[in-house]
Amino acid sequence: MGATILGIGSAIGFASGSTASSAESETAPINLLTTVDFLQDEGESEAENICLQQNSPNLLINPSFEGQYTTYVPDTPIDDCPAGVCTTAQIPAGWTPFWRSHDDNDDPWIIRQPEYKPACIGTTPCPFPNRLRDGQEALQYFTFFSTHEGGAMQRITVTQGADYCFSGWGHSWSADDSDDAISGPVEGELYQKIGIDPTGGTDWTSTNIVWSDADNHPWGRIQYDEYGLFTVETTAESDHITVFVYSQPRFAMKHNDVYWDDTYLAQMTSVYTTSITATNDIIALTDITETVQISQSVDFSITGTGPLEGYTWTATITDPVGLTNTLPLTPTFNRSSGGLTETLVISVDTTGLITGSYAADVLITTDPITGDTPIRVPIRVYIVEEVSRVYLPLTIK
């Protein structure tokens, strides 16, 4: 999208007044040409926003693990719940627990089924406020003098091909004693992470899952005693995706306790920013017999990701900012609005103007609104009685 300003944009022009008596000395319009180029920047390869910057609604059911916790009943019987009811897995609505079962060939402290419960045990106010980040409850699960590998998951309907961001707040307590409910001094290297299966699968061991903190450690990261934010992004490959919160300690401790709260799943949206700057002023000097044309580029860039189809601009005339004792100026446009590929022409005609200072501003707005808009382009015209030229001698050595 280009814009041509006839007159002065971010510039100063000087023209003669209408005081001469001969026909050759009649006032002539002055046309100062400024070109404003509207450039679309390719932007970043990925959206610059993260989960918490989205204005999209939270797609999760019960994202803060609130309400009544009920006994988990698996769809098919599993060895850890021989009666078909997992009495040690108390789960909030919307979430399904998962864990790796103990291998009888291993030592008894290696990989046991975690116990799941509400962190605040249904009491208000929470008797353990450091285990709560938001609301009235948080999800807690743990193993006692043993290790585990497990967590909770939720499957959600989404738009295939859209980008999604999942975030969650988590922390853990890993210690060989109960003296102060603080991790250490001996701790079990308890790792946490969150993930998204973009295919909507519910196998928490699947290689399809995109996990957070993958650059830190295959198991995630250690987040002791204080809630920390975990985030992960991916593109939906199906009309469903599944989100996971996960943990695994390396060593058996009296306490290998895990807490999750305040999760958020959003469809990612584009973020745009705009800017417009004049690289230098335009100064034009002419007498009544000349028409001077000077061009200058002013960059207007749109940066970000996402489709720009339907992106439009609108130009309006407004009073100048910060100027007094100026005369009104009325530029004209070839069009007052357009799209990315359409050109805006702003014209100023000085015919009949008396001596003085003239000013107006052009406001350029965009739809959708982006970054710094509206953008203000100053138009300034100065009409003087006479222009004098001084020619310096040229010496060639």
Confidence at residue 203, expressed as pLDDT on a 0 to 100 scale: 97
58/174 same-domain check: yes
Tell me, what amino acid is at 193? K
User: How many Å apart are CA 215 and CA 13, to the nearest integer?
Assistant: 59
Do 7 and 76 have their domain in common?
no
pLDDT number for residue 364:
82
Identify whether residues 6 and 137 lie together within a single domain: no
Model pLDDT, residue 376: 79
Looking at the structure, tell me whether residues 171 and 241 fall in a common domain. Answer: yes
Domain count, the chain: 2
Does residue 376 come out as left (phi exceeding 0), alpha (psi in the -120 to 50 range) or beta?
Answer: beta
Contact 384, 355 (CB under 8 A): yes
The two structure tokens encoding residue 70: 């009920």
In this prediction the pTM is 0.61
**Do the domain assignments include residue 133?**
yes
Residue 322, in any domain of the structure:
no
Question: Domain range holding 159?
Answer: 51-267
The answer to whether residues 121 and 150 belong to one domain is yes
Would you say residue 310 lies in a domain? no
Together in a domain, 206 and 84: yes
Distance, CA of 174 to CA of 284 (rounded, Å) = 75
pLDDT at 139 (0 to 100): 98
60 and 1 in one domain?
no
Is 187 found in the same domain as 152? yes
Q: How many CB atoms lie within 10 A of CB 142?
A: 22
| Boundary residue ending a domain (267, 298, 316) | 267
Shared domain for 144 and 170, answered yes or no, is yes
Identify the pLDDT of residue 309.
60
Which residues in the chain come in under a pLDDT of 50? 1-49, 276-286, 288-289, 291-295, 297, 305
- What confidence score (pLDDT) does residue 63 get? 96
Mind giving me the DSSP string for 216-280?
T-TT-EE-BSS-EEEEEEEE-SSSEEEEEEEEEESS-BSEEEEEEEEEEEEE-----EEEEEESS
